[in-house]
Chains A and B, each alone.
Chain A
Amino acid sequence: MPFQSNVPPGELSEKWKQYRSSMPLVAPNNKRRLEVIIVGTGLAGGAAAATFGELGYKVKVFTFHDSPRRAHSIAAQGGINAAKNYQNDGDSIYRLFYDTIKGGDYRSREANVHRLAEASVSIIDQAVAQGVPFAREYGGLLSNRSFGGVQVSRTFYARGQTGQQLLLGAYQSLSRQISLGNVQLFNRHEMIDLVMENGKARGIIARNLLTGETERHAAHAVVLGTGGYGNVFYLSTNAMNSNGSAAWRAVKQGAYMANPCFTQIHPTCIPVSGEYQSKLTLMSESLRNDGRVWVPKSQEDAAAIREGRKTGLDIAEDQRDYYLERRYPAFGNLVPRDVASRAAKTACDEGLGVSPTGLAVYLDFDAAIQRYGKSRAHSLNEYSADDQRIRELGVAVIEEKYGNLFEMYEKITGEDPYVMPMKIYPAVHYTMGGLWVDYNLQTNVPGLFAIGEANFSDHGANRLGASALMQGLADGYFVLPYTIGTYLSQEIRNPMVDPNGPAFMAAEAKSQDRIDRLMAINGTKSAEAFHRELGKIMWEYCGMARNAEGLRKGRKLIRELRKEFWSDVFVPGRIKEYNPELEKALRVADFLELGELMMLDALDRNESCGGHFREEYQSEEGEALRRDDEYAYVSAWEWDDDEPILHKEELIFENVELKTRSYK
């Protein structure tokens, strides 16, 4: 199978423009005859489906949700980056490109990232035209905020619900195409296999989740916009139903999985409260603008807090360790996500954690409340305001800025964060890894494309804040609609693909057989129980810090668990009915293979970079040690039940110099 990045030649800043102007096109009369299947209706899939419909292709779009609007893109809070330079603070396409490459710890492809930065500008225009109610200044122009440790203000936002508003924009455009008959929507349909014919992706087998029937759907090309696989950890900030199965089904058909071990652990999440915990809730990164992270200096104090004998308020100022400020004076509490997460883990590993589980640190707003309170008192001419009044004024400012987040925190934990310092802990949030794609976003399987979080392409080893929305929409609106032409222009002579052909019948039979086998096990443990166990293994051995020994052990444990799963899982209900437990079991079965590949990939990568921290490779101060001479490549894994095969795509950096990230 082909394995070339297909990056066009030319100057970095001109590549995309030139390529776009010279790539093969499909004439309108042919577009009507070409069918495209899109799986997933999040920012990437939804945007692509709408745009393909507008262009005139025959589109079928699939989502396992009841409505395209429920895709997990909806939960993104903070914002979306774009190199508009509306703030006149020195931003540019190059700077956004550079920040993204650097933030990704130099493990992404230059040309793709630059194209992303170029497209970012059009996304904002498009979203505004769709009616997305971005935050505005008094003069009526778009407002920006700073985010994720970069030095410019380039993040556009709609309160704390930017993802929701952007997704609804895409959903509405998609709805328009559905009403025009250009796009056919298959909601409550889950892709359970990819169909290959003569080495090309030709369609999918989908399960109608209402009836349990399997269906065969054929097309000239298949696009996966199915999101990330963070739920392999069981506990993550992903939605409960987010899964890696569509991508994994493609891998089983020969698509390569790239950099699977690159997972982003977000530092500010609400800690786990018990074994029953089903998911983790993210608190926006913006909180670190005003919150100070600390743990007690002494283990005795930490133990006292854990046992409920003391609270954070009882620890005197000089007994607190503001460890981020201490270790990274230049960036302080605003270090990138991977650095902040690891530092929290280190503190808790030293026995300084502050929740009953020992896995939490404080995020304290007291200093900010005091600071804002004094400043507000000053501007109100209340020069002799007492402490209580200052506090009151400060709380009001914090409430204006973060009110909804504080409220959410209180709902979930039952503690008032205006009084008690918040407790936070890192949690799995995003997967930078994904299906390997070339510059055209085509996987190594001809006719199979991957967009958004489902591909690996733009974020390297660590994603910057407010970049996920940007990438999903860039892929869906402004990249794939062009690049898919390079493939479909070759398909104009091929007639409609027959969904009753032998390849389809065989694929359907295989899918049904897999479901039958699963149901026939009739064991003793629920899929959920296996998933929880898998998550524990992943978190323990392939989490925030990894080492060779642990990864080997983890891989072994997963293989054992997989075996147990296939002999002891119990799936209630019947096949041909609405059966969420069966859906879950099918997804867990795939996670049990994907998890193994993640261990393998982490084991192969003998360096620390971005979200991947190998304990063996750290500096004397405990910072990540990247090894560019040996590991500046993309790992693209070909699945094999016993020994997956590694293919390497060397990363060539012609425009940026590889430097060690330092936030000290």
Chain B
Amino acid sequence: MDNMKLKLRIWRQGGKFPKGQFVNYDLDGVNDHMSFLEMLDVLNEKLINKKEDPIAFEHDCREGICGTCSLVINGYPHGPMQQTTACQLHMRNFRDGDTITIEPWRSRAFPIVKDLVVNRDSFDRIIQAGGFISVDTGQAQDGNAIPIEKDQASHAFDAATCIGCGACVAACPNASAMLFVGAKVSHLAQVPQGKVEAETRVQRMVAQHDAEGFGRCSNITACEAECPKGISVEHIARLNRQYIGSTLGSEKVAN
């Protein structure tokens, strides 16, 4: 199919639309081999040729790993296909004549920059609060000095695979970033190198999460459903465990 006709209902904000509103576009000539973002490219090319302001949307690697793209498509962060980023979503998953609604991530902690582009600095600040292991370059011992059980390394990877896109926040009815925080806390808590600072880390990261204005997790699991990497809410449970153990069970008071 190389001539799909689509009705696009796209959130525009900034420039001509200071408060933000939906604008409708008709697009035909869409090939079903196109990626979703290529479909938007085609629309933008048409807008530019008409000397209109193209739709701002963020994207970079277009192979599902950089975490830049951030579209809510028909209500689904990254679109209806699970474990697929918007850039890996292809038009063959839509039908001729479909109406597609495209919105930005909506969260108080992700203010809109323009149209579909949001500012996710809050995620960086959460990592800065403690999402690291304090090791200076050159201090490390041999990589094989501490064995890590294969499955445990693999579980740590399952959490570390987070691409920091923010779909969890976009999907969560509470706009909570607990899956993002949980993934990093869980990753670092499951490798021996990360256990050293685990108690301080979890307190500081949770405090930063709260300070950024994200919502509170109520275990709905929409985050896991929409996470393009399929990160499980069991990492949120580990985060909770770590947090309880650290705040109530240890002598650490991180600030």
| Contacts from A to B (Cβ < 8 Å) | 47, 50-51, 54, 65-70, 72, 74-75, 84, 86, 122, 124-142, 158-159, 161, 164-165, 168, 171-173, 175-176, 178-179, 185, 187, 210, 237, 239-241, 273-274, 276-279, 281-282, 408, 411-414, 477-478, 481, 524, 526, 528-529, 570, 572-573, 577-578, 580-581
Beta-carbon nearest neighbor of A273 in chain B: B33
A14 CA / B139 CA spacing, docked (Å): 22
Q: Which of B54-69 contact A (CB under 8 A)?
A: 54, 56, 58-68
Q: Are B161 and A161 in contact (CB under 8 A)?
A: yes
| CA A573 to CA B15, docked complex, whole Å | 9
B5 at interface (Cβ–Cβ under 8 A)? Answer: no
Contact B48 A171 (CB under 8 A): no
Asked whether B251 is an interface residue with its Cβ less than 8 Å from the other chain, the reply is no
- A133 adjacent to B33 (CB under 8 Å): no
Smallest Cβ distance from B18 to chain A, in angstroms?
A: 12
Assuming the A-B contacts A75-B61, A125-B143, are A69 and B41 also in contact, with contact meaning beta carbons closer than 8 angstroms in the complex? no
Q: Are B65 and A74 in contact (CB under 8 A)?
A: yes
Q: Mark B129-156, 1 if CB is under 8 A from A, else 0.
A: 1011111111111111011111001101
CB of A77, distance to nearest CB on chain B (Å): 9
Given A572-B54, A573-B15, verify A175-B127 contact (CB < 8 Å).
Answer: yes
Q: Which 6 A-B pairs have the closest CB atoms?
A: A140-B147, A129-B140, A172-B132, A125-B140, A133-B157, A128-B143
Neighbouring B residues of A47 by C-beta, 8 Å: 137
**A contact residues around B138 at 8 Å (CB):** 122, 126, 477-478
Query: Chain A CB within 10 Å — which of B60, B135, B142, B146 has the most?
Result: B60
Bound Cα distance from A122 to B120, whole angstroms: 33
Expressed in whole angstroms, the Cα–Cα distance for A7 and B181 within the complex equals: 46
Q: Which residue of B lies closest to A210 (CB)?
A: B113
CB-CB < 8 A to B133: which residues of A?
Answer: 129-131, 172
B14 within 8 A of A: yes
- Chain A residue nearest to B139 (CB atoms) is A129
Q: Are B113 and A578 in contact (CB under 8 A)?
A: yes
Question: Are the C-beta atoms of B45 and A528 separated by less than 8 Å?
Answer: yes
Could you tell me the distance in whole angstroms from the C-beta of A642 to the nearest C-beta in chain B? 32
B4 at the interface (CB under 8 A from A): no
Residue of A51, A138, A164 near B161 (CB, 8 A) is: A164
Besides the known contacts A125-B142, A131-B133, 7 further A-B residue pairs in the complex with CB atoms under 8 A apart: A67-B121, A130-B133, A140-B150, A140-B153, A161-B65, A276-B42, A411-B88
Partner of A570, one of B48, B65, B128, B154: B48
User: Is B194 at the interface (CB under 8 A from chain A)?
Assistant: yes
Residues of chain A with a CB closer than 8 A to B127's CB: 171-172, 175
Q: Are A239 and B62 in contact (CB under 8 A)?
A: yes
Bound state CA distance, A529 and B55, in angstroms?
Answer: 17
Measured CB to CB, the closest approach of chain A to B7, in angstroms, equals: 19
**CB atoms of B144 and A141 under 8 A apart:** yes
Point out the residues of chain B lying under 8 angstroms from A240, CB to CB: 59-62
A130 to B134, CA, bound (A): 8
Q: How far is the CB of A565 from chain B (nearest CB, A)?
A: 15
B144 near A75 with CB under 8 A, answer no
Question: A73 — nearest CB in chain B belongs to which residue?
Answer: B66
| B187 CB–A CB distance under 8 Å | yes
Verify A131–B188 contact, CB threshold 8 A: yes
Q: How far is the CA of A237 from the CA of B63 in the complex (A)?
A: 9
- Residues of A within 8 Å of B161, CB to CB, are 159, 161, 164
> How many Å from the CB of A356 to the closest CB on chain B?
10
Check A66–B143 contact: CB distance below 8 A.
no
Per-residue CB proximity of B179-194 to A under 8 Å, as 1/0? 0000000011001011
Give the distance in Å from the alpha carbon of A142 to the alpha carbon of B148 in the complex. 9
- Decide yes or no: A66 and B120 within 8 Å by CB, A161-B65, A240-B59 being known contacts: yes
Which B residues touch A124, using CB under 8 A? 143
- How many A-B residue pairs have C-beta atoms within 8 angstroms? Tell me: 221
Asked whether, in the complex, the Cβ of B153 is within 8 Å of the Cβ of A134, the reply is: yes
Distance, CA A128 to CA B123, complexed state (A): 24
CB pair A578 B139 closer than 8 Å: no
Residues from chain A with a CB closer than 8 A to the CB of B38 are 276-278
Chain B contact patch, size range: 35 or more
Quick check: B191 and A176 within 8 Å, CB to CB?
A: no
**B235 in contact (CB, < 8 A):** no
User: Is there an interface contact between B37 and A278, defined as CB atoms closer than 8 Å?
Assistant: yes
Q: Is B12 an interface residue (CB 8 A)?
A: no
Determine which residue in B47, B120, B137, B194 has the highest number of CB atoms from chain A within 10 A of its CB, and name it.
B137
> Please, which residues of chain B bring their CB within 8 A of the CB of A132?
160
- Using Cβ atoms and an 8 Å threshold, which residues of chain B touch A578? 14, 56, 113-114, 117
Contact B54 A75 (CB under 8 A): no
Bound state CA distance, A525 and B40, in angstroms? 18
Do residues B68 and A70 form an inter-chain contact, with CB atoms below 8 A? yes
User: Is the Cβ of B65 less than 8 Å from the Cβ of A179?
Assistant: no
B-chain residues with CB within 8 Å of residue A276 when the two chains form the complex: 31, 34, 38, 41-42
Known: A84-B143, A278-B41. A241 touches B164 (CB 8 A): no
What is the CA–CA distance of A529 and B133 in the complex, to the nearest angstrom? Answer: 45
B141 touches A125 (CB 8 A): yes
Give Cα distance in the complex from A519 to B111, angstroms: 28
B128 touches A176 (CB 8 A): yes
B66:A72 contact, CB within 8 angstroms = yes
Given the complex, which residues of A lie within 8 Å of B157, measured CB to CB? 133, 158-159, 165
Residue of A nearest to B161 (CB): A161
Query: In this assembly, does B242 line the interface, its C-beta being within 8 Å of a C-beta of chain A?
Result: no
In the complex, which residues of chain B have a beta carbon less than 8 angstroms from the beta carbon of A570?
A: 48, 51
Find the A residue at minimum CB distance from B55.
Answer: A580
**Shortest distance between the CB of B34 and any CB in chain A (Å):** 6
In the complex, chain A residues whose CB is within 8 Å of the CB of B54: 572, 580-581
B163 within 8 A of A: yes
Residues in B whose Cβ lies below 8 Å from that of A173: 132, 135, 137
Q: Please name the residue on chain A nearest to B60 by beta carbon.
A: A239
Taking the nearest CB of chain B, how far is it from the CB of A65, in angstroms? Answer: 7
Task: Look across to chain B and name the residue whose beta carbon is closest to the beta carbon of A127.
Answer: B143
Offer 30 A-B interface pairs, CB within 8 angstroms, sorted by A: A51-B136, A51-B137, A65-B60, A66-B58, A72-B66, A75-B61, A75-B63, A84-B143, A129-B135, A136-B153, A140-B147, A141-B147, A158-B157, A161-B65, A165-B160, A171-B127, A175-B132, A239-B60, A239-B62, A274-B2, A276-B41, A281-B63, A411-B81, A414-B32, A414-B33, A481-B137, A528-B45, A529-B45, A570-B48, A577-B14
The reply to whether A75 and B48 form a contact with Cβ atoms under 8 Å apart is no
The chain B residue sitting closest to A282, CB to CB, is B63
Cα distance A175–B67 when bound, in Å? 18
In the complex with contacts A51-B137, A86-B144, A577-B15, A274-B33 CB distance below 8 A: yes
Residues from chain A with a CB closer than 8 A to the CB of B84 are 411
Chain B proximity of A142: nearest CB distance (Å): 6
CB distance from B74 to the nearest CB of A (A): 18
**Which B residues are CB-close (under 8 A) to A128?**
140, 143, 146, 193
